[in-house]
Amino acid sequence: MIVNTGAQIDHDCEVGDFAHLAPGSVLCGGVRIGSLALIGAGACVAPHISVGVASVVGVGAAVVDLVPDGVTVVGVPARPLFASETRERVDDAPASRRRVRTIEARE
């Protein structure tokens, strides 16, 4: 695990192997971060939310709902952008209309 300057981890969090918490990122209580995930600089993950394996949370995002494995999310509140490995866009809608809870990771 990499914990950069100013990253904060509150109580009862679980962080997987090789996950990366960028500068100023915040994990509220009870958060679970999958292995290889990146929590971008200044991003915040709300209490008891899970971020999947190899998922990416963009700079400044506010994660308030589950992030499936392998999905990149951005924004406030965070919405899916694309699957991490394929970079296939989740849909053609503006980022502001996408919701985390409706999207499954793509192979």
Ligand X SMILES: CC(C)(COP(=O)(O)OP(=O)(O)OC[C@H]1O[C@@H](n2cnc3c(N)ncnc32)[C@H](O)[C@@H]1OP(=O)(O)O)[C@@H](O)C(=O)NCCC(=O)NCCS
51 is an interface residue for ligand X by CB under 6 A: no
Encoded one letter per residue, x for contact with ligand X by CB under 6 A and - for no contact, window 72-91 reads x-xx-----x----------
4 is an interface residue for ligand X by CB under 6 A: yes
Catalytic residue among 11, 48, 89, 101: 11
Among 7-15, 44-52, 58-66, 96-104, the segment contacting ligand X (CB under 6 A)? 58-66
User: CA 95 to CA 107: how far, in whole Å?
Assistant: 21
User: CA 82 to CA 7: how far, in whole Å?
Assistant: 25
Of 12 and 24, CB closest to ligand X: 24
103 is an interface residue for ligand X by CB under 6 A: no
Annotation marks residue 11 as catalytic: yes
Task: Answer whether the bond into residue 23 is a cis peptide, omega within 30°.
Answer: no
Residues 6 or more apart whose CB falls under 8 angstroms from that of 39 comprise 7, 19, 20, 21, 22, 25, 27, 33, 45, 51, 57
Q: Give the shortest CB-70-to-ligand X separation in angstroms.
A: 13
For the annotated catalytic residues, the residue numbers are 11
